[in-house]
Amino acid sequence: MTDLDVARPRLDALTGLRWLAAFWVFGYHMAVFGSLPYPFDQPNRLGFLGVTFFFVLSGFVLTWSMRPSLPISTFYLRRFARIWPSHMVALLLAIPVFYTLSADPDHSWVKTFSIPILLLSVVLLQGFSRNPEILFSGNPAAWTLSCEALFYAIHPFLGALLRRANRRGALVIAAVTVAVAFGYRALTQTGPDGWASGVPLPFEHVPEFVLGMAIAWAFARGWRPRVAVWAAWLAFAAIIGWLTVGPSLEFGVLSELAGRFSNEFATVACALLIVAIAGNALRGRRSWLEHPVMVRLGNWSYAFYLVHATVMYAVLNVIGAPRGPGWSNLVWGAGIFAVALALAGAIHHWVETPAERAIRGWKERRDLNRTSGRGIV
């Protein structure tokens, strides 16, 4: 044991924050299903950036809780236990919604059944392809799990390097990571045919994860920035608002930047919000994000993310096509949300939690038997 192995306090406010990111993604997909009238549809236009929030938050949470003494094999198995069982259940639910044995020209989201392509989804490799038939294969929302799988694979090694840094070093790494993200995005839009745009999405999103890691390590080394939570929320809303409307307005270079670097500016906004909320929690200040309801929703957010689009497109399969803008879409959205949330709660309680507990328990017993010299049973 070292001082770095000392348990750090749980940051339940970040669990509640995770739910808000999942709900933002839900709003984005609801805008595709049937949007609200203009301009009330605008807040959901960039809801896909909730995924960016997930990636930054994932890097932060994993690094905040990392322990140098934890074997890499144990870390990997715990991450497998956390995401794969629920992923497989969601995949089985998605197949009859998104697949058919023959082409369906009336439903562009329905694909022809292909076992080899589906197998890529089973092992979380689909996200490494830019081909939409593969990238969105199986459960379309699960392409992000390819990114998470890569993040999990590299985290122990990046963590070992990061542990050498002090607080200032961690903040320098965070700043360099942001610069790299902007530089990469610039490369995708320059040169012959934007040559860098062909990089697989999991590699493209690594800076978001690393930024979360660097910020968490700065906190672990004692960084306690005094960023007012209300100011962070205001800044986040302002940045997302600018990214939403800026590209369509004549703001010159500001419009150009919003259109070209939306993901990178959103990454910074997400990081700022995480810094404010985590710092607030570590100073002992309570937050509405820590309310038991928000924490429970945060715990359900992974399953909700996996199934909400499946529920939505199952409805589309019945009604035939996306709906036009209108206030009645609030009713449709409420119904879809209720079904998806109930399904997410069921998966969390009956699949995710027991499977994770069983797999982690098996690994702990195996490690105990090995260290005690009694062999493996």
pLDDT exceeds cutoff 90 at 60: yes
Do the domain assignments include residue 37? yes
Give the per-residue pLDDT at 145: 98
Instruction: Tell me what pLDDT residue 196 has.
Output: 61
Mean pLDDT of 199-210: 96
* Structural domain of 339: 3-372
**Which residue type, as a one-letter code, is found at position 200?**
P
So what's the pLDDT on residue 46? 92
* 123 residue type, one letter: V
Query: What average pLDDT does range 255-262 have in this prediction?
Result: 90
Q: What is the pLDDT of residues 297-342, one digit of tens each?
A: 999 999 999 999 999 999 999 998 899 999 999 999 999 999 999 9
pLDDT value of residue 375? 47
Is pLDDT at 215 greater than 60 in this prediction?
Answer: yes
Mean pLDDT of the 239-251 span: 87
Q: What percent of the chain has pLDDT over 90?
A: 79
Any domain includes 49 = yes
- Does 1 have pLDDT greater than 60? no
- In sequence order, the β-bridge partners of residue 185 are none
pLDDT tens-place string over residues 180-196: 999 999 888 876 665 66
Is this structure's pTM higher than 0.85? yes
Position 191 scores a pLDDT of 62
In a domain? residue 204:
yes
Flag the least confident range among 140-144, 294-298, 360-364: 360-364
Classify residue 291: in a domain, yes or no: yes
CA 41 to chain centre: 23
Question: d(Cα 293, Cα 71) in Å, to the nearest integer?
Answer: 34
What is the chain's Cα-based Rg?
Answer: 21
Whether residue 377 is contained in a domain is answered as no
- Position 377 scores a pLDDT of 37
Distances (CA, A) of 295 to 18, 307, 315, 323: 9, 19, 29, 33
Q: How many domains does the chain have?
A: 1
Distance CA(118)–CA(98), nearest Å, equals 11
Q: DSSP label at 285?
A: -
| Residue range 25-50, pLDDT digits in tens | 999 999 999 999 988 888 898 999 99
pLDDT at 199: 87
User: 201 lies in a domain?
Assistant: yes
- 112 SS3 class: strand
Residue 139 forms part of a structural domain: yes
Residue 247 has pLDDT above 80, yes or no: yes
In the predicted model, what is the mean pLDDT of residues 9-22? 96
Q: Which among 66, 63, 60 is positioned nearest to 273, based on CA atoms?
A: 60
Q: What percent of the chain shows pLDDT beyond 70?
A: 95
Residue 283: inside a domain: yes
Q: What is the pLDDT of residues 97-122, one digit of tens each?
A: 999 988 777 788 899 999 999 999 99
**pLDDT digit string, tens, across residues 81-100:** 999 999 999 999 999 999 99
Specify the amino acid at residue 85.
Answer: P
User: Rounded CA gap, 340 and 313, in Å?
Assistant: 11
- How high is the mean pLDDT of the chain? 92
